[in-house]
Structure 1
Amino acid sequence: MSGRLVLVLPLCLYLTVGSVQSQGSSQDAFIIQYLERRLSQIEERLNECEQKTVSVTQKTYDLSSEIRGYLSTVSFLKSEVRSQVDSVYERVERVERELEYLENKMPAQTDIEMEESLLEQQIEAAELDLQQKKVKIRMENDCRTALSQIKSLKIVKKAGDTYGSWFKDPTEGSEKIYLLSGIRNDTLKEYVSLHSFTERTTTPPVREVRLPSDWQGTGQVVYNGFIYYHKADTPNQILKVDLLNGTMVDSTLVPGAGRLPVYSLNPNTYLDLAVDELGLWVIHADSEYGGNLVITKLDKASLAVEYTWDTQCRSQDAEGAFLICGTLYVVYNTRHGGRSTIQCLYDIHDTIHSDESPVMFFPKRYTSHSSIHYHPGEKQLYAWDDGYQTIYKVETHINDQVTAE
């Protein structure tokens, strides 16, 4: 019995010790797990704090860079403002010196009154001189011819390009015919007569004249052995060339010309020269007057401007114009070609008015003129119609209202 007790006691003691050890091991594991969780949470918070610190540091750096840029701009603006202030200060000083100089040099009131009186006298003299020129232009050659109608049509020949001009020198006694083909060229053809021009084989042969520079458009004229034309690549320069040797003898600039085509249906012509009983003229369109036509009287010898008139005739839908005794007749058409009509005129004598004159029709034929030139001696129009050289006979009458002023 005692031996069995001895065996049982160690066994019980072993079981008790094992149970205690088992309970201690379970508590340690729980504590370790708790500590591990807390450490993991602390690590996460530390990482988050580090990331926020990096972000704040970057933002602080960016902000400091931006502030440095603003400071640099402010510094530049400050120096620029200082420079401008110095410049304004210098200008103010200069103005003060100039005012002081002007005050010392300013003439007395009596001198100013004398200068104003002299200026008024000069203006009156200039106005009187212009009026005298105007009267002289109006009454030269006792010109009282006015257009009644376009009577007949004669197609003379077909030669050259679609656009061009041809005419006879209107100088008394001259029979020479001139042909200028194209809107830009430097060579014209001279025929001894209209009969020679119409022949297939001309005898004597046609004479070609080389000009010193190209012409522009179809507004050329020949007058007394000289050709007057718009020089190409210039807005408003007119050349006068001697046809005997092809040399330029004079040139001029037409004020206000060259900004618009003179006729909208002939967009390559900016200056249209014309000859009538009174002499040499140039026609152009001026944008300052709504695109209406302006006529200028030129001295045929010196090309000096004698007088200029602003007309009410529009350039829109116009294809050409000519003058008879100082009266401008403007020819209108349609863009695709039709029956040409004279719908507007301007009389420098102020005796014929456009609103009182009937529309004049060209002979019944569908046409499109690139140039129309009046011959005062023959009372004929030399026209270029799509490459056809055409002559229109005109009927005129005496305008008795033209009297000396």
Structure 2
Amino acid sequence: MYTWMLTLLVLSLGLGHAQRSTQEAFMMQYFERRIAQLEERLIKCEQNTQRVDQKIYDLSTMVRGQLASMEVHRTEVKTQVDSVAMRVERVEREVEYLENKTPNQPHIEVEEALMEQQMKDAQKKKVKITQGTDCNIALTGVKSLKIVKKAGDVYGSWLKDPTKGSAKIYFFSGNKNNTVLEFKSLKTFTEGRLTQAHPIQLPFPWQGTGHVVYNGFLYYHRADTPNQMLKVHLLNRTVADSMLLPGAGRLPTYALTTHTFLDLAVDELGLWVIYSDPEFGGNLVITKLDKSSLAVEHTWDTTCTSRDAETAFMICGTLYVVYNSRYGGRSSIQCLYDIHDTIHSEESPVLFFPKRYTNHYSMHYHPKDKQLYAWDDGYQTIYKVDLKSKAEV
């Protein structure tokens, strides 16, 4: 009896344990299926997130590209607007100049259409500048060369104040500095050392090699500005005047002298500035300035290209452009532009400099001495020139 009851008890316990094991196995399978489903959903969620991230990245890339394109278009539009504004301003100055030069004729009635046509024809003609100076000479040759000294950097500029009675020499070494060296005379410069010069500290640094000294004032391109010119009194070292030249400073004036963006010059007619204009294919532009106020008197778009040009100078209202090879060679004048329309580049022969195969980084004409003061790869050089009446050329 007891044995049977014990057997029954053991069987009951075994059956209960088996049932629990089955339930536990079932629960484990259930949980495993749920976990697998969750993992699958997580994987899909991660894939969806990656796709969304990729779409957001693609969208942001496209937006950045569109913004960059819009910025380029905005810059182009701004450049075109500035160019149009500059041309309008130039035309206004030309019209104003022509109006001032045209005598009043109150008793003559002219039809409006005829007046407009006359104005257009007048604008096409080159304007003549006369300042009480009989200026009728032209360059016919560069006849001799004198190496005065070798000093300073490869780039630089040296010049003489063309004012009557002035013998001082001014020395600018390098293409950017705030100091100019002053020598009492050419002899002092030739025989002395740079340490014996009188240093003049300027209120603002200069840039390039296109400086001039005129009547005790230094005119130069202020460094780190696109087109600001300063007029500095050398005696008291103060800024007497300044101006921004519209349209200038966007390209180097000469392709072979890349640090000069404004090249100032002095001749028998006064003060000039030469620069390159990208709106006219990089051709050179010359502007006549009032030496007292720096006001623009007139501007001419020349036919002389800045490509392969190394420097230029003015003589009697005529621009002479000096060309060379990028690797250094024999310099020559291959293009000229006469504001009086008396001589023409296509009718003039090429003028070669004396045999010296190198590069010029600046050249300044002295209207009193009739000489060119040139910076020739660190050599300070003087060229004597042949001049004749324009009628004889």
Q: What TM-score do you get using the length of structure 2 for normalisation?
A: 0.70
Which of 138, 143, 165 is the equivalent residue of 2:157?
165
In structure 2, distance between residues paired with 1:53 and 1:198: 99
Task: Name whichever of 136-145 and 355-364 sits farther off.
Answer: 136-145
User: Which residues of 2 match residues 257-276 of structure 1 at below 5 A?
Assistant: 257-276=248-267
* Amino acid in the other structure paired with 2:97: L
Deviation at 1:200, TM superposition (A): 2.9
- Corresponding letter in the other structure for 1:347: D
- Are 1:129 and 2:96 matched, yes or no? yes
Kindly indicate whether residue 221 of structure 2 is the aligned counterpart of residue 254 of structure 1.
no
Report the counterpart of residue 315 of structure 2 in structure 1.
324
Q: Counterpart in 1 of 2:170?
A: 178
Distance 2:45 2:161 in 1: 87
The 3-state SS of whatever aligns with 2:341 is: coil
- Counterpart contact for 1:274–1:374, Cα < 8 Å: yes
**Aligned match of 2:327:** 336
Match of 1:114 in 2: none
Matched, 1:353 2:344: yes
Structure-2 separation of matches of 1:259 and 1:213: 21
Q: Which amino acid aligns with 2:135?
A: C
Q: Distance in 2 between matches of 1:167 and 1:124?
A: 34
Q: Who is 1:374 aligned against?
A: 365
CA distance in 2, matches of 1:65, 1:377: 85
* Distance 1:57-1:222 versus aligned 2 partners, 3 A rule: closer
Question: Structure 1 residues 56, 313: CA separation in 2 closer, same or farther (over 3 Å shift)?
Answer: same
1:338-393 deviation line (CA, Å, top 9, x unaligned): 11000011111122111111100001221311100000111110001111111100
Q: 2:207 aligns with which of 196, 213, 216?
A: 216
Post-superposition Cα deviations, 1:192-227, rounded to whole Å, max 9, x if no partner, equal: 21122112369xx53211101111111110000000
CA contact under 8 A between 2:303 and 2:337: conserved in structure 1?
yes
Distance 1:371 1:126, change over 3 A: closer
CA displacement 1:95-127 (0-9 Å, x = unmatched): xxxxxxxxxxxxxxxxxxxxxxxxxxxx99965
- The residue number in structure 1 matching 2:184 is 192
1:275-295 deviations in whole A, cap 9, x for unaligned?
A: 011111111111111111111
Change (3 A) 1:65 1:358: closer
Contact 2:285 2:302 in 1 (8 A): yes
1:5-404 equivalent positions in 2, closer than 5 A: 127-131=94-98, 132=100, 135=127, 137-138=129-130, 140-200=132-192, 206-400=197-391
- Shift in alpha-carbon separation, 1:309–1:56, aligned structure 2, 3 A: same
Q: Which has the larger radius of gyration?
A: 1
**1:214-255 C-alpha deviation (Å, 9 max, x unpaired):** 111111100000001111111111111000011111111111
Give the direction of change, closer, same or farther, for the CA distance of 1:365–1:169 in structure 2 (3 Å limit): same
Offset at residue 48 of structure 1 (A): 12
Post-superposition offset of 1:145: 1.2
Instruction: Give how far 1:333 is off.
Output: 0.7
**What is the rounded CA distance, in whole Å, between the counterparts of 1:322 and 1:165 in structure 2?**
13
Q: Following TM superposition, by how much is the alpha carbon of 1:52 offset from its aligned partner in structure 2, in angstroms?
A: 9.2
- Partner Cα separation in structure 1 for residue 44 and residue 353 of structure 2: 84
Task: Name the CA shift for 1:379/1:61 in 2 (closer, same or farther; >3 Å).
Answer: closer
Whether contact under 8 Å (1:351, 1:401) holds in the other structure is no
3-state SS, counterpart of residue 143 of structure 1: coil
* Contact map agreement 1:138 1:349 (CA 8 A) in 2: no
Q: Partners of 2:44 and 2:351 in 1: how far apart?
A: 84
- For structure 2, list consecutive stretches of 5 or more residues without a partner in the other structure: 1-27, 52-89, 102-125
Decide whether aligned partners of structure 1 residues 60 and 369 sit closer, same or farther in structure 2, where only a CA change above 3 A counts: closer
> Does the 8 A contact of 1:297 with 1:305 survive in 2?
yes
CA contact (8 A) 2:366 2:373 kept: yes
TM-score norm. by structure 1 comes to 0.68
Distance in 2 (alpha carbons) for counterparts of 1:164 and 1:399: 32
Q: 2:174 and 2:41 mapped to 1: Cα distance?
A: 77
Report SS of the residue matched to 1:363: strand
- The alignment covers a number of residue pairs equal to 308
Q: Contact between 2:155 and 2:173, CA under 8 Å: does it hold in 1?
A: yes
Give the superposition deviation at 1:142. 2.5
Given that residues 170 and 183 in structure 2 are in contact (C-alpha distance below 8 angstroms), is that contact kept between their aligned partners in structure 1? yes
Q: Equivalents in 1 of 2:189, 2:177: separation in Å?
A: 20
Deviations 1:145-190 (A, max 9, x none): 1111111111111121111111110111211111111111111111
CA 1:124–1:347: 2 relative to 1, 3 Å:
closer
Percent of paired sites with the same residue? 63
Give the 3 Å change call, closer, same or farther, for CA 191–313 of structure 1 in structure 2.
Answer: same
Measure the CA separation in 2 of the matches of 1:366 and 1:66: 70
Name the CA distance, whole Å, in 2 between partners of 1:126 and 1:370.
32
Q: Secondary structure at the match of 1:364?
A: strand
Q: Which residue identity lines up with residue 193 of structure 1 in the other structure?
A: S
Change (3 A) 1:401 1:386: closer
Amino acid at match of 1:129: E
Alpha-carbon shift at residue 400 of structure 1 (Å): 3.5
Find the aligned partners of 1:278 and 1:331 in 2 and give their Cα distance.
Answer: 21
Query: Secondary structure, in 3 states, of the residue corresponding to 1:355?
Result: helix
